[in-house]
Structure 1
Amino acid sequence: MVHIIDDEEAIRDGLGWLLRTRGLDSRGWEDGATFLAAGDDAVAGVTCLVLDVRMPQLSGLEVFDRLQARYGEAMPPVIFLTGHGDIPMAVEAVKKGAFDFFEKPLSNNRLVDRVIEALDRAEASLALRSTQAETDRRLASLSPRETEVMERVLAGKLNKVIADELGITMRTVEVHRASIFNKMGVRGAVELAQLLKR
């Protein structure tokens, strides 16, 4: 979904039509306050925002700042639309994390190409956050003793050394290792290290 937030109806309609010709769904918003009021539903899933810098009541930069404060790293990519005098503001927004900016009048096909790139990035970011959340969930399922064993396994220590350090038998270490690998969904220490590195 592409959200077009611009106070000019002609731009919203034109971009919406162009996006549809490239197989992309879009929704137009006449101002930033209305978009922000829609809340999390507006930015759920894979989405990109095309945001005008200058709008009445709430500027595009203010909308951008509020979205950053609300979503942090989970914020969808933002492409700014700017008039000639707004370029320094748009450059500043890119430095703060915006995906790109385009000067009006628009180079429509180039803009849509960048929207597609932004959506690809949003999809990859969503997949990464989902993987991280699943890994965190699995880590939280480990018992305190399993966590101690896992830390030593990741440090490359042998079962005998782990058993001596923790004051348990080697067989107990083996049971904990098997449980750790099962809970984390890996086949061994190398896979576990790769998973946690990601």
Structure 2
Amino acid sequence: GRAVKIHPDRDYDKIMTGKRHGFVVAYEVGFDDDGRIHGIDMRYDGQCGWSSDLSGPVTDRALFHADNCYFYPAVHLTSRPLKTNTVSNTAFRGFGGPQGMVGCERVIEEIAFATGLDPLEVRKRNFYGTSDRNVTPYHQKVEDNVVHEIVAELERSAAYAKRREAIAAFNRDNPVLKRGMA
């Protein structure tokens, strides 16, 4: 055989080269009326493409970020790298971390919707603690936890409560157009 060199245009290059792994996250979560998580079972299925490449480490790393900054008193996490009939995906910036965090943030949003609570309140009630509630699903103690202080400062500096009130007022007064906060 002989080596060949190709120069595909950008559109074709995007079709044929690997990208970030897409994930489907299935979960069951138990929580109380205050939005506090009591137990969670999550499965991260990663779309790997036709070859494994670095998919095993990517799906594993998604598990290491499946808690983000939240304490799970009872937890069961699994990942499955799935072979699919697509281009082979590979390690990309974040290496599975963003997918793990997006999965748990979706759970927080669902809890907020189910309880009628503000999603930020649900987040704060589930943050890792500083003296207790501070052990990850993989048994690492969270030390130097500053998430409480950072979120309090962001909430204040962004005028979060005032903006939420303005959004609620706008949405009450407008039957068609709606606003939200990302």
TM range (shorter): under 0.3
> Which of the pair is proportionally richer in strand?
2
Highest Rg: 1 or 2? Answer: 1
Query: Could you state the TM-score of these two structures normalised by the residue count of structure 2?
Result: 0.26
Query: Could you state the TM-score of these two structures normalised by the residue count of structure 1?
Result: 0.25
